[in-house]
Amino acid sequence: MNIKNNIKLYLNTIYRSYTMLLALIILIALASILSHSFLTVQNITNIFRQVSVMGCVALGMSFVIIGGSFDMSVGSTVSLTGILAISLQPIVGVFWAMAISLIVGVSIGLINGTIITSINGTQGDSFIITFGMLTVIQAVALIITKGFSVPGSNNKSYIFIGNGDIGVIPFSIILFVVSAIIMQIFITKTSHGRNIYYMGANSEVAKLIGIKVKFYKIITYMISGAMAAVAGFILTARVNGAAPKAGVNLEFEAVTAIVVGGIGLKGGEGTLVNTIIGVLIMGVISNAMNIIGISSQNQLVVKGIILIAAVCVDIRKKGIMGEG
């Protein structure tokens, strides 16, 4: 009886952590049946290439969500940092253009985090505040560019970020994967990462055991801002040009991927493995919809429905495990 129970418990854990992986595999199988051009090396690298921008955004945002807050400002942060990276290049050179953009991304995170921690904001507050920030940064991006696109860089190494390959593997994918690995190790294996989890699980308890809650909250936003800047580089390098609205909807797509991957919105749960699975699921769905020829408006409808469904599942899961 005991053994049977233990096996049940074990299967349950496996089931919990791998349902979304299973969903991904089923999706891939489905897509390959629907279209024989899906499961080709070229299309698969294509998917990765497409998701690397949103993927980087989602990785950074995962830190914030695990820490118990939201960062909805990332969409326009991607736009702004992309614009800066491109338009500053003729003036200060590639290195400094990128460095400044990165600093801007991190600073946006710093501002977000500082505002939220200084008012002792709740998770809901963080949603609204960063949402406000989304609008502000979007406006700044429009003001800087006067609403026009910025023509691309002629620096080969910059373009390499978005279009280059190392061997057969696109550099942007390597950038995404390497970031993911480093960030995953940081959050799951280090004391700082663990403190972010404790903060997300219950910031009151975390405070009372001496964790610098404000510090860690700000750090998560800074990481999110930095990853948005990286996404900005990849995006502008790939299409070789920056537009003030290039990042629109990225925050929405990233949240969708995170929730679909199974990171609980309450905070203190899940790892970046969830994020990666969620990003790939969304990537496969987009790609499949493109191949089948679904219009971009209709794709948005589908993605919106997926987000709503994923949130419902997340809440239901809590309901079942919740009160004791």
Partner 1 sequence: MAKLDNLLTPRGDTMCDYLLKIQNITKKFPGVVALDDVSLYIKKGEIFGIVGENGAGKSTLMKILYGVYKNDSGQIFLDGKELKNLTPLIAQKMGMSIIFQEFNLLSTLSISENIFVNRLSFKNRIFVNWNVLNKRAEELLESIGYTMDVKRLVSSLSVAEKQMVEIAKALSFNAKLILMDEPSATLTNKELDKLFKVIETLKKQKITIIYISHKLDEIFQICDTTAIFRDGKVVDTKKTSLFTKNEIIQKMVGRTVENEYPARTKINFDEEVLRVNNLAIKNKINDISFSLKKGEILGIVGLVGSGRTELVRAIFGADKKISGDIFINGIKRSIKSPQDAINLKIALLTEDRRGQGLFINYSIEKNISSTIIKKISKRMFINTKLETIIAKKAISDLKIKCTSEKQTMLNLSGGNQQKVVLAKWLVSEPDIFIMDEPTRGIDVGAKYEIYVLMNSLTEKGKSIIFISSEIQEVLAISDRIIVLYGGKINGEFQREEIENDKIMKHAIGQ
Rounded to the nearest angstrom, the gap between the alpha carbon of residue 166 and the centroid of all alpha carbons in its chain is: 24
In the complex with partner 1, the residue whose CB is nearer, 188 or 249, is 188
User: Is the Cα torsion angle 235, 240, 244, 248 positive or negative in sign?
Assistant: negative
Question: Distance of CA 156 to CAs 5, 119, 133, Å?
Answer: 60, 45, 33
Residue ranges that bind partner 1, judged by CB under 8 A: 1-2, 5-6, 8-9, 189-192, 194-195, 198, 201-202, 204-205, 207-212, 268-269, 321, 323-324
Interatomic CA distance for residues 28 and 23, integer angstroms: 9
DSSP secondary structure letter of residue 247: T
**Strand partners of residue 166:** 169
Nearer to partner 1, 85 or 211 (CB): 211
Tell me how far apart the alpha carbons of residues 193 and 219 are, in angstroms, rounded to a whole number.
11
H or E stretch covering 204: helix 203-208
Alpha carbon of 207 to those of 62, 76, 186, 216: distances in Å? Answer: 21, 32, 21, 11
Q: How far is the CB of 167 from partner 1 (least distance, A)?
A: 31
CA dist list (Å): 289 to 33, 38, 282, 294, 300: 13, 11, 10, 5, 11
Closest separation between CB of residue 272 and partner 1, Å?
17
Q: Which residue, 267 or 278, is less far from partner 1 as judged by CB?
A: 267
Query: Strand 241-242 vs strand 150-151: parallel, antiparallel, or unpaired?
Result: antiparallel
CB of 90 to partner 1, least distance (A): 40
Question: Beta partners for 242?
Answer: 150
Which residue's CB is nearer to partner 1, number 156 or number 212? 212
Nearer to partner 1, 8 or 316 (CB): 8
Cβ distance to partner 1 smaller for residue 142 or 273: 273
Give the nearer residue to partner 1 in terms of CB position, either 270 or 283.
Answer: 270
Calculate the CA dihedral of residues 94, 96, 98, 104 and round it to 10 degrees: -150
